[in-house]
Structure 1
């Protein structure tokens, strides 16, 4: 069972004690990502994430890595559109080291100009690597296209033009605005002594002061129907077909997840069975929903030989037509609910998965559902609620397409 403590400065600590494991996962979640950026500083959230690993007033970049490597642990971070997370996973006996290293990075990073210049080159190389990974690039092109003009569509890595402008003053200004106690959650899951944990967090974080409360309000993102084809000399064509989805926290999420499992969520899904297994036209085909505050997407991805592109598009539309016309079967519904429950329960056995779940939920929604509540939500999914999602999401008038590859014919 998780618990929540709010420090006097507004920082939230959520934690779940799992006494039968030997690991503990710690995450510092900050409510900022590419959606908080502007056209002038796009990429700064991700850049700051990199810079926090470059050294502090008492540890070099190598020291940070060695501190965690020496105890057999893991340390990493990721940046999304709406949040950034710095995390560790260690043995329970090394919790104090993990919190000390993370808090040192968080509060005492040097942001030396030489390090900033080096990291600019690293991130620009990362952007180049992404450009050479069309199966990833096509998803970014899709979100930039449908949310054109809104920060939700900005690339998380940023642009080379913006990155070249970053300096210490820009970094500190951005952090002063968004790296605040009220906009931060510390999430911990695993084996620990509860009293010592609270004492440890207070020791490292209670002196973090900020004058006012913080409300992270995003501008509304308007979904735009569009089509973008990026010509690239690749062996395969990479395709995204997508629709407007539902927002983060929507009570109908588990109905949409059920629908996703049936359509393209795994190897037994309709798309995988009919287009890959039966016809051999693709290597990879799947669907997924993305949810954000006030907005969402539902996307189908496929990678194929260029000569099969139109056939795959037509077959995918046929599968969508079938699901729009006939819906799903009771047998499919029963199986997908068991699949959702099984995936969720298996995830509970990982301390990092639990840390991620309670941390993100508290940060984005201000509340955490218990495992029992999640399972009840899945149980409440029925034929009518899935049919409602089919009617809401699958509207061919609102279908957008992005494609990357050696495309000669018009889609």
Structure 2
């Protein structure tokens, strides 16, 4: 069962109490990310995520780690296009002191000049690492082409130029505008008492600003039908192709998730069997959908020998055209739905996955859904839904294709 409440500051608190666990995963989600950045702010959301680990008014950075790791807890964070999350996996007995440390990080960080400069160097190394990892870098390039000249298409890390120019004043302005109670969701799953959690959040975030001056994210404007090549000296061709699709709240997402499982989720998927096992055309092939507040992406990655990239794309195009014309049969759909339900059940073994699911549902739907509701909706996916989604989004001529070699 899920429980939800709101603190006097306006922070939403949601929890999933599981008494058979000895641990709890708690995430503090801030509804901001790279999509909320202005052109001169590229990479700020991610930069701030780093800075909150560097020290507060009462703790040095190393003392943040010590305060949590003394209990055996694991602290981490990530920045996405629409959210930033700080999360901790901890023994349930250490949840209260762990939450106090997280609240201190989010409300009282120092943004000291020497820390900004040292972390700037770390982020520049992170950007270089992505550029040296072609299967990651090509996805960034693909999204730049799919959403050109807008925040949704820019890399979450920012660019070398933008990261080099960020100042303490600029970072703190972004932090003050976005790290406010109305944009925060605290989600916890595991051995947790909701009433105590609510009281702790209310106490430790006592002085948090109720709201800021941050506006809505920039709207999405998708490009269609482009072919782009980038030369970086790699022997293998790395290809990312796809299109914009429906949002996280659209019912059509279930059909797209089913098509993802059918096409590119695992070794039994259609593209893996066709392109790797039967034709030895690729080393790696998989699909990955992503659903956002008002749009989404459906992408396919191919890793192949440079000399085979043209034939690999022809084979992919032919398979997608066949899917649009013929759809899939009933037995295949039932197998896909079994796989989706099984993946859902396995994900629920993890308190981290439960925490993420809880927070995402709250952010997108303003309420948590029970797993049984999702399980039932998967069972209701019908062939006409699959056919409609394939016709709507899988016209390969309208896809963006990005090749990095």
Does structure 2 conserve the Cα–Cα contact (< 8 Å) formed by 1:263 and 1:271?
yes
Equivalent in the alignment of 2:108: 108
Residues 255, 123 of structure 1: CA spacing in aligned structure 2 closer, same or farther, 3 A cutoff? same
In structure 1, distance between residues paired with 2:186 and 2:197: 11
Separation (CA, whole Å) in 1 of partners of 2:141 and 2:188: 35
> In structure 2, what is the equivalent of residue 351 of structure 1?
351
TM-score w.r.t. length of structure 1: 0.95
The 1:369/1:215 distance shift into structure 2, 3 A limit, reads: farther
Q: Deviations over 1:228-268 (max 9, x none)?
A: 21101112110012122111211111111111111112211
Would you say 1:342 and 2:374 are equivalent positions?
no
Deviations 1:316-351 (A, max 9, x none): 111112111111011110011111111111111211
Greater shift in the superposed pair: 60-69 or 214-223? 214-223
Q: For residues 367 and 334 of structure 2, what CA distance do their matches in structure 1 show?
A: 28
Distance of 2:21 and 2:9 partners within structure 1? 31
Report the equivalent of 2:254: 254
TM-score (norm 2): 0.97
Structure 1 match to 2:2: 2
Give the match's secondary structure for 2:25: strand
Shift of 1:206: 3.5
Equivalent-residue separation in structure 2 for 1:40 and 1:244 (angstroms): 26
CA deviations on 1:291-331 (whole Å, 9 max, x unpaired) are 11221121111101111111111111111121111110111
Alignment of 1:116-127 (within 5 A): 116-127=116-127
Partner of residue 313, structure 2: 313
Q: Which ranges of structure 2 fall in alignment gaps of 5 or more residues? A: none
**Deviation sequence 1:189-214 (CA, Å, 0-9, x none):** 1102333222212211243233x588
Single out whichever of 354-363 and 180-189 deviates more from structure 2.
354-363
Q: Do 1:144 and 1:154's aligned partners in 2 also have CA atoms closer than 8 Å? A: yes
Structure 2 CA distance, aligned partners of 1:97 and 1:279?
A: 56
> Does the residue aligned with 1:114 lie in a helix, a strand or coil?
helix
Q: How far apart are the structure 1 equivalents of 2:209 and 2:288?
A: 40
Q: Say if 2:9 is the partner of 1:17.
A: no
Q: How does 1:141-180 map to 2 (within 5 A)?
A: 141-180=141-180
Aligned length: 404
| Distance across 1 between alignment mates of 2:188 and 2:403 | 40
Q: After TM superposition, which residue ranges in structure 1, 4 or more long, deviate above 4 angstroms? A: 212-216
Question: Larger deviation: 133-142 or 194-203?
Answer: 194-203
Q: Given that residues 32 and 45 in structure 2 are in contact (C-alpha distance below 8 angstroms), is that contact kept between their aligned partners in structure 1?
A: yes
**1:221 maps to 2:226:** no
RMSD of aligned C-alpha atoms? 1.4
Q: Helix, strand or coil for the counterpart of 1:8? A: coil
SS at match of 2:335: helix
Is 1:301 the counterpart of 2:272? The answer is: no
Contact 2:36 2:218 in 1 (8 A): no
Q: For 1:25-174, what aligned pairs fall within 5 Å after superposition?
A: 25-174=25-174
Q: Contact between 2:16 and 2:192, CA under 8 Å: does it hold in 1?
A: no
TM-fit CA distance, 1:215: 8.0
Greater Cα offset, 394-403 or 308-317:
394-403
Q: What is the rounded CA distance, in whole Å, between the counterparts of 1:80 and 1:397 in structure 2?
A: 29
Contact 1:290 1:297 in 2 (8 A): yes
